[in-house]
Structure 1
Amino acid sequence: MAKKFKRRVFLILEAKEHKQTFSRVCEYFLIFLIISNTLAACIESIEEIFEAYKIWFIAFNRFSISIFTLEYLLRVWSCTSIEKYQHPIWGRLQYILTPLAIIDLIAVLPFYFPYNRADFRSVKLFGLIRFLQLLKLGRYSRGIKILTQVIRLRQEELILTLNIVIFLLISASSLIYFVEHEAQPDKFPHIPAAMWWGIITLTTVGYGDVYPITPLGKVLGGILALLGIGLFALPAGLIASGFTEVITANKKSNQILFPKICPHCGKPIDQPSHHPSDLEH
């Protein structure tokens, strides 16, 4: 009985019992709490509003952290009901080291550490950690799950493209440094500083704060900008084709697992008919 209850708790928290009303309520409540925390962190940056409603903001933050902490502890406690994590020690440790569990821990653990509120860096870090709670939505968002599948499907091509971009960035930054350093020692003092120009040019953003003034530097900048237009279109095309493949595969999987049944003959509607009598109904 206890094992069955533990498994039920884990499936509810993992949002894998969508047909159960209580599971949907828990899922929607956690999503609402995550989004509300993110909005509260944004509004708290307005000093006038934060000072006027400081008590309410602090109370809501403590309530949210309590809920997220309870959620994390229940996940770790109930994960042993799954065969993959069934060992009481190593199974829980394996679950704790999963990416989503690490995100859940990061979202709550720093709030239990003492920090100096007078230190501006501590306050900024505290605010940044609150925004990390938004990553918890990855557990419930179907779009993020599909994006993860797409990245896994196209990871080799994306890594290859990233390698090309890094090679081109380092090469262009090194060349522009040697070309422009004497003419603009303050703008191109060293190669790492020249990489800022390389990134802005390669992405064709062009802020205009740093730009070449020598003829050779202008030619190099033009070539890099043209290469950037084509190079940055590659990841977009790879991800777009990956989305098409993943969505098509998911639709076919849903048709196999949950086929539409004709109420008259009891046969699957989504499957092509192979007999003339199948078309009569």
Structure 2
Amino acid sequence: MKRRIFDIIQIGQKGDFASRAFDLGIVIVILVNIATMILQTFDELANYQNVFVVVETVTIVLFIAEYILRLWTAEYLYPTSHRAKAVLRFMISFDGIIELFTILPFFFMSGFVAFRLLRVVRIFHLFRINSYTDSFHVIKSVLYEKRNQLVSSIFIIVVLMFASSLFMYSAEHSAQPQAFKNAFSGLWWSMSTLLTVGYGDIYPITAIGRIMAIFIAFLGVGVVAIPTGIISAGFVEQYRKEQDSTNNDLQRIHTIIIDIDSQWLGHTVAEIEQQYPVNILLRQKGKYAIKADSNDVVSLEDVLTVYQYEEPHIQKKSQS
């Protein structure tokens, strides 16, 4: 039963109705919870606050139940770890943290401002909707594979932001001490300039400041494009890997008809697989195709479905 519960609460396969229904139910609960949080901010709906509280409480209870089930079945998610370590690994994983942030804000809806701000964190459990799709896993794999390049590009952006902020503070502080009263003011300007946001609330007025701003603005256009290019290249590489994998599998599957000249005629499946770099998957005689057994003897006019590890030198009548 525990194993079955684990299978149900994981991402469902197409043939598993219970698991797919659970996924759909969780998505609906997430959307209802987010919609309730948004509707609670409308003054026009103040008369329905009690209804919103009830709906929110029900959805949170469902989230808590799911979180407990995931902790209970964590040993199946991490089979190489003992139970306590598996539970801890899930709690500090991305999905575990998101689920915890889904629950915690409900218990801190009043009190200090920092606690009330936790309610906004609940929006992050929308990521869990994406976790039920293959596209989200592709994004995660691309970001993970390109993590070193992304960190390097972000480091370059941060260094340029600090350098340009200090330059601009030095050039503009004397002319407009209220706008550039410290290095942080320069950092705010450099962030909005390098990231091409351009709020316009702080801007240089001196000649040297404007000259530097021109170079920094041009530099920002190129710098911001670096992580974008890295991620785009990662998606292209991932797409090519998937295509190559699919094409290679299709190219390695052969249908071979055994004739009188075949080198395989009269040999068993086991002997052929030992001598040639192939794996015989199916053996068809007439209308019927069966799984190839290692003791089967290949006879005349047999039709074999073969997985080829590399290009072997085989004599065959036809191939598709």
Give the partner amino acid of 2:122. Answer: R
1:137 paired residue among 114, 122, 129: 129
Task: Indicate how the Cα distance of structure 1 residues 95 and 182 shifts in structure 2: closer, same or farther if over 3 A, else same.
Answer: same
Give the partner amino acid of 2:68. Answer: L
Q: CA deviation at 1:129?
A: 3.0
Question: 1:256-278 CA deviation, whole Å, 9 max, x = no partner?
Answer: 7899999x98859xxxx997833
Give the partner amino acid of 1:241. Answer: A
Question: 1:175-227 CA deviation, whole Å, 9 max, x = no partner?
Answer: 00000001010100001111110011112221211110001000100000001
Q: CA deviation at 1:35?
A: 2.0
Q: CA RMSD in A?
A: 3.1
Equivalent residues of 2:77, 2:86 under 8 A apart: no
Give the partner amino acid of 1:163. Answer: F
Question: 1:71-119 CA deviation, whole Å, 9 max, x = no partner?
Answer: 0000111122345365232322222222211211121134235743xx6
Task: Indicate how the Cα distance of structure 1 residues 211 and 26 shifts in structure 2: closer, same or farther if over 3 A, else same.
Answer: same
Q: Aligned to 1:170, what secondary structure does the other structure show?
A: helix
Question: 1:11-42 CA deviation, whole Å, 9 max, x = no partner?
Answer: 22121434201111100111121122222222
Q: Which residue does the alignment assign to 2:319? A: 278
Q: Which residue does the alignment assign to 1:6? A: 2
Give the partner amino acid of 2:79. Answer: K
Q: Report the count of equivalent residues.
A: 270
Residue 70 (structure 2) pairs with residue 75 (structure 1):
yes
2:184 paired residue among 169, 179, 192: 192
Task: Indicate how the Cα distance of structure 1 residues 96 and 249 shifts in structure 2: closer, same or farther if over 3 A, else same.
Answer: same
* Larger RCO, structures 1/2 (Cα 8 Å, 6+ apart): 1
Whole-Å Cα distance in 2 between the matches of residues 87 and 27 of structure 1? 27
Q: TM-score by structure 2 length?
A: 0.74
Equivalent residues of 1:38, 1:133 under 8 A apart: no
Which residues in structure 2 correspond to 1:174-213 (within 5 Å)?
Answer: 174-213=166-205
Q: Which residue does the alignment assign to 2:39? A: 43
Whole-Å Cα distance in 1 between the matches of residues 33 and 207 of structure 2? 52
Q: Which has the higher strand share?
A: 2
Task: Indicate how the Cα distance of structure 1 residues 255 and 97 shifts in structure 2: closer, same or farther if over 3 A, else same.
Answer: farther
Q: CA deviation at 1:255?
A: 6.7
Residue 206 (structure 2) pairs with residue 214 (structure 1):
yes
Structure 1 stretches of 5 or more lacking a match?
none
Give the partner amino acid of 2:177. Answer: P
Moved more, 231-240 or 83-92: 83-92
Q: TM-score by structure 1 length?
A: 0.84
Q: Which has the higher helix share?
A: 1
Structure 2 stretches of 5 or more lacking a match?
256-288, 290-302
Q: Which residue does the alignment assign to 1:154? A: 146
Q: CA deviation at 1:70?
A: 0.4
Q: Which residue does the alignment assign to 2:27? A: 31
Identical-pair percentage: 27
Task: Indicate how the Cα distance of structure 1 residues 254 and 139 shifts in structure 2: closer, same or farther if over 3 A, else same.
Answer: farther
Larger Rg: 2
Q: Which residue does the alignment assign to 1:98? A: 93
